[in-house]
Amino acid sequence: MSTIRVTGLRVRHRRTVALDGVDLTLGTGVHGLLGPNGAGKTSLIRVLATVARPSGGRVEILGEDLSDHRRRGEVRRRLGYLPQEFGYYPGFTVREFVAYVAWLKELPAAAIPAAVERAVARVGLADRIDVRIRTLSGGMVRRVGIAQAIVNEPRLLLFDEPTAGLDPEQRVEFRALLRELGTAATVIVSTHLVEDVAAACTEVTLVDAGRIAYQGNPDTLIALGESSEGTGDHPMERGYTAALRAHRTSAAGAAR
């Protein structure tokens, strides 16, 4: 069963059209969301996370239609979301904060302590679990953000630039966690790092100027870069630039 079915999605921010008729069907696996600054990745993730309302189109998540507010609440409890700028209480300890999110997600009270310890251990912060968040480094705070997203073992995980601020060792560990999460859940990761996509993603969706420019897997994107002489230092970067160029050429042709 597909976790996400989006048809004709439109998102506007005042006069800016951030997403313009997006169709997307995604299931279990790790989906890399790539695209230039301002392409619409965050706008898409915010709609999927139920924190922003679309201005048009239909969004169905875990079989629930998001236009119904009761269904939206139900979906919200079953997903995990790490925004680009994530809000937390600096005076809380890691344990208190992750437990608070578990409570918001309506996990049974008796299950919360073990769920919190499991989530914190998975992001490598077990030894800091009783430390106040304000005393942690930026990368560690990011890992607290990942822990709060996975505490309810969600079927859908949305990560908006999760590797920003992580050191190389942590990035490698986070990618391994992504691969593991993607065996049972639908994981969407917006990133500017092609290495994240090459190492952790089973599928790639490229967004450009509010539209889907390309969908495939990392190997097909790399092959596109090789066959159409994309530019870049990494094979995936060459695929990325080639796919963008092909999309822009066909969009310009359609507009003529």
Ligand X SMILES: Nc1ncnc2c1ncn2[C@@H]1O[C@H](COP(=O)(O)OP(=O)(O)OP(=O)(O)O)[C@@H](O)[C@H]1O
Residue 53 interacts with ligand X (CB under 6 A)?
A: no
In this complex, which beta carbon is closest to ligand X, that of residue 98 or of residue 161?
A: 161
Total interface residues for ligand X by CB under 6 A? 12
In this complex, which beta carbon is closest to ligand X, that of residue 128 or of residue 142?
A: 142
- Among the listed ranges 10-18, 107-115, 137-145, 164-172, the one in contact with ligand X (CB under 6 A) is 10-18
HEC profile of the chain: CCCEEEEEEEEEECCEEEEEEEEEEECCEEEEEECCCCCCHHHHHHHHCCCCCCCEEEEEECCEECCCHHHHHHHHHHEEEECCCCCCCCCCEHHHHHHHHHHHCCCCHHHHHHHHHHHHHHCCCHHHCCCEHHHCCHHHHHHHHHHHHHCCCCCEEEEECCCCCCCHHHHHHHHHHHHHHCCCCEEEEECCCHHHHHHHCCEEEEEECCEEEEEECHHHHHHHHHHCCCCCCCHHHHHHHHHHHHHHHHHHHHHC
- According to CB under 6 A, which one of 5, 8, 20, 38 is a site residue for ligand X? 38
The tokens describing 95, both together, are: 């344990």
- According to CB under 6 A, which one of 9, 22, 24, 41 is a site residue for ligand X? 41
> Closest separation between CB of residue 194 and ligand X, Å?
14
- According to CB under 6 A, which one of 3, 9, 34, 42 is a site residue for ligand X? 42
Q: Quick one: which of 99, 126, 122 has its CA closest to 110?
A: 99
- According to CB under 6 A, which one of 6, 9, 18, 166 is a site residue for ligand X? 18
- Among the listed ranges 32-40, 125-133, 175-183, 221-229, the one in contact with ligand X (CB under 6 A) is 32-40
> Closest separation between CB of residue 240 and ligand X, Å?
13
Residue 37 interacts with ligand X (CB under 6 A)?
A: yes
Residue 47 interacts with ligand X (CB under 6 A)?
A: no
- According to CB under 6 A, which one of 6, 9, 34, 39 is a site residue for ligand X? 39
By the 8 A CB rule, do 189 and 30 touch? Answer: yes
Residue 253 interacts with ligand X (CB under 6 A)?
A: no
- According to CB under 6 A, which one of 16, 227, 231, 250 is a site residue for ligand X? 16
- Among the listed ranges 34-42, 103-111, 193-201, 221-229, the one in contact with ligand X (CB under 6 A) is 34-42
> Closest separation between CB of residue 207 and ligand X, Å?
6
Residue 40 interacts with ligand X (CB under 6 A)?
A: yes
By the 8 A CB rule, do 131 and 93 touch? Answer: yes
The tokens describing 111, both together, are: 């299950």
The tokens describing 7, both together, are: 């048809």
Determine the residue type at 139: G
> Closest separation between CB of residue 233 and ligand X, Å?
20
Residues that bind ligand X (CB under 6 A): 13-14, 16, 18, 35, 37-43
